Amino acid sequence: MSIQFQDDFNRKFYYLRLSITDVCNFRCTYCLPDGYKAKQNKTPFLSIDELKRVVCAFAHCGTSKIRITGGEPSLRRDFTEIIAMIAEQKGIEKIAMTTNGYRLTKEVKKWRDAGLTHLNVSVDSLDSRMFHQITGENKFHQVMKGIDAALDAGFKTVKINAVLLKNMNDVEIPAFLNWIKDKPIQLRLIELMKTGEMTELFDKHHKSGLPVRDYLMRNNWEMKIPEKNDGPAEVYCHPDYQGEMGLIMPYKKDFCASCNRLRISALGKLHLCLFGDQGVELRDLLQTDDQNEALILRIQKELMNKKQTHFLNQGYSGSTPNLASIGG
Ligand code: SAM
Ligand code: SF4
């Protein structure tokens, strides 16, 4: 490792979220309620060679964890090859993906064999009708089978992402807790985040995770100490539960103080924050291997512009229209 990517506030970036496509086959109410709309004159997403140059630069500068995301990353035909390519890069210890889970049953073993080490599956409800209502797809049972397939394939644990939605799935906390009692699952409740395209939904359905945290504390759940390349969740464990609970609360004070991650969009832009502005073009420096040094210098220079915090609490959620377009 030559340099460590870090910003002006001494935050070090060990974790990269790499979006490989904007396309998705689900229509989650909070993300792509009308489904993915292909653009005319569409610029192609980063090729495997371009992705390799991104990963190589980050690995060279201290990044040890890559999360592959999207859109729905498993929709890319070369998805297994992308995992294998990342697994070959020196310094990368963890390769994670976030998926809506619809392809797990068929493919998860292959992905694990290619080098995938960590898996997040989005499951917003344990009630199949509510799942359908939130995601726009009647695929609850298929996704649940996929989670079992992942555990059978050898993943020691699976992380589940559930966006907490007032008057929709917020009555399901007891059901979620019951589900993880005897299963090696870390269930992470994510507070709904306001994005550019979302107006009414946020006001209607946003709910703070703090009451859930208070409930956990009152019931003897203990907070775990995070590792350096862990994500933003506060994780809680309990001696009577095999599973764990995680809370992601971006509106909480000091959420940004422990930021250790950066994002690359599927079109090759560097995003310093999920709630920042347009992103910085990197694609012109992803064309040949000998551009590596220039690529690292541009990223390092841009990191000096990373703001200390987002401005969500001031009502500014940046220019991201939805999380599928930047890689959630
Ligand atoms: N399609 C994959 C999936 O859904 O798992 C990966 C991409 S998705 C953008 C990544 C995560 O972001 C999912 O867990 C999703 O629930 C979450 N997400 C999307 N929009 C969100 C929002 N507005 N607020 C909070 N979480 C959101
Ligand atoms: Fe697709 Fe994931 Fe967005 Fe749902 S959250 S629409 S599955 S990208």
Instruction: Flag whether 8 is in a domain.
Output: no
Q: Is the CB of 250 under 6 A from ligand 1?
A: no
Which of 19, 23, 24 is the best mutation target for the ligand 2 pocket, counting ligand atoms within 8 Å of the beta carbon and taking the most? 24
**pTM of the entire predicted model:** 0.95
Closest by alpha carbon to 246, among 266, 223, 269? 223
Q: What is the pLDDT of residue 311?
A: 67
Instruction: Flag whether 2 is in a domain.
Output: no
Instruction: Flag whether 4 is in a domain.
Output: no
* Whole-number Cα distances in Å, 281 to 62, 262, 266, 298: 21, 14, 11, 10
What's the CATH code of the domain at 300? 3.20.20.70
Which residue's structure tokens are 């292909």?
Answer: 38
Instruction: Flag whether 1 is in a domain.
Output: no
- β-partners of residue 246 are 188, 235
Q: Is the CB of 24 under 6 A from ligand 1?
A: yes
Instruction: Flag whether 39 is in a domain.
Output: yes
Q: How far apart are CA 60 and CA 55, in angstroms?
A: 8
Mean pLDDT by 10 residues, the chain (328 residues): 82 93 96 89 92 97 96 97 97 97 98 98 98 98 98 97 97 97 97 85 94 95 86 91 95 78 94 81 97 96 81 67 79
CA angle 166, 168, 170 (to 5 degrees): 60
Instruction: Flag whether 189 is in a domain.
Output: yes
The residue type found at 296 is I
Instruction: Flag whether 10 is in a domain.
Output: no
Using an 8 Å Cβ cutoff, are 274 and 320 in contact?
Answer: yes
Q: What's the number of domains the chain is made of? A: 1
Q: What is the pLDDT of residue 59?
A: 96
Report CA(322)–ligand 1 centroid distance (Å). 9
Q: How many CB atoms lie within 10 A of CB 298?
A: 18
* Whole-number Cα distances in Å, 238 to 157, 200, 223, 244, 246: 16, 37, 9, 7, 12
Q: Is the CB of 71 under 6 A from ligand 2?
A: yes
Instruction: Flag whether 5 is in a domain.
Output: no
Its sign, for the CA torsion 143, 148, 153, 157, is: positive
Report CA(75)–ligand 2 centroid distance (Å). 12
Print burial letters for 53-72: b (CB count within 10 Å at least 16), e (below 16).
bbbbbbbbbbbbbbbbbbbb
Using an 8 Å Cβ cutoff, are 203 and 144 in contact?
Answer: no
Q: Is the CB of 186 under 6 A from ligand 1?
A: no
The range of the structural domain enclosing residue 53 comes to 15-325
